[in-house]
Amino acid sequence: MKKISVIGMGSWGTTLAILLAEKGFSVTGWEWIKERALKMQEDRINKFFLPDCAFPENLIVTNSLNETVSSGDIIVIAVPSQFVRNTISKAKSKLTHKYIVSVTKGLEIDTLMRMSQVIIDETSAPPENIAALSGPTHAEEVSKKLPAAIVAASINEDFANEIQKVFMTDYFRVYTSSDIVGVELGASLKNVIAIGAGIADGMNLGDNSKAALITRGLREITRLGVKCGANPHTFSGISGIGDLVVTCESKYSRNRFVGEQLAKGKTLREITESMEMIAEGIKTTQAAYKLSRKMNVEMPITNEIYNILFNNISPQIGLKRLMTRSAKSEDEF
């Protein structure tokens, strides 16, 4: 059986490490905080993010990044998007010839790159050795073995099929795709719209507003995705509308929580300082705003969420500006 290494033992990284270990793979997980790594290895549980799931015997946790990378045939990248480049740079010579799966959802602010692009740029790994694994899969539910579906995307069809086999279980169904651009953009941009959904919830705007936000948000995501080279049909699938809906509706969504707290009057700093885990949508909003302007793509919802987050525009003003835009046909792409 293959040896698999998971870089990042947050809730999602830990969930996947346990899933893979329970399938019989030899799994090594890397935790960046040494004391936490020691505690996980000693207690055989991640009490920080997943306290109800014991580690199988064939899952070990270490603070040594080089040891983790060296021990894996397949490397799973599960650190927050803004830390991916810095993390892999410390072991990039060992990563060049590895097979790599990114489960991170986000865009790099400085370069506007997707995570697979960051990995290729930093490690010089062949694009055909890279895959993205993404979908509506909150760790809190997958760790309980509740049924879920996800997409493994790679320009290398054989590698996508291999990742499908590696990760699929009777509760975790994996589909394949060759559209890694669309899968990664859908995964990233839905977090922006989820902040908007949280704002709608915090303002008690009701179901009609939420439905309009989700559908028009999907149109924005698709518009930018197609301009970046994605297949438009990807956004009507699991990694598109599927991930968007769950992130906008779920009680587990950190991005929805951020929006809800903003609408209730808390500052962004107050919200983020109270959170143990990172809400990827905050940084992704900055990147999406910059990318939409670079690509000359109209994204009014994203623009207003950006203004609320970073320009001190109130949710009430942002909503009014969206609702009073010039009239349009829904067919306008």
Task: Please give the positions annotated as active site.
Answer: 190
**With contact defined as beta carbons under 8 Å apart, do 133 and 103 qualify?**
yes
Q: Is 126 helix (H, G, I), strand (E, B) or coil?
A: coil
Give one DSSP letter per residue of 199-220, joined into a string: HHHHTT--HHHHHHHHHHHHHH
* Nearest in space to 123 (alpha carbons), one of 91, 99, 156: 91
> Tokens standing for 326?
């010039």
Q: Which of 6, 63, 19 is nearest to 40 (CA)?
A: 63
Beta-strand ranges (E) seen in 140-236 are 148-153, 172-177
Q: How many CB atoms lie within 10 A of CB 310?
A: 13
Distance CA 93, CA 313 (A): 45
CB atoms within 10 A of CB 92: 16
Tell me the two tokens of residue 101: 């799966």
Smallest Cα–Cα separation from 134: which of 180, 75, 203, 79? 180
Residue with tokens 């939409």: 292
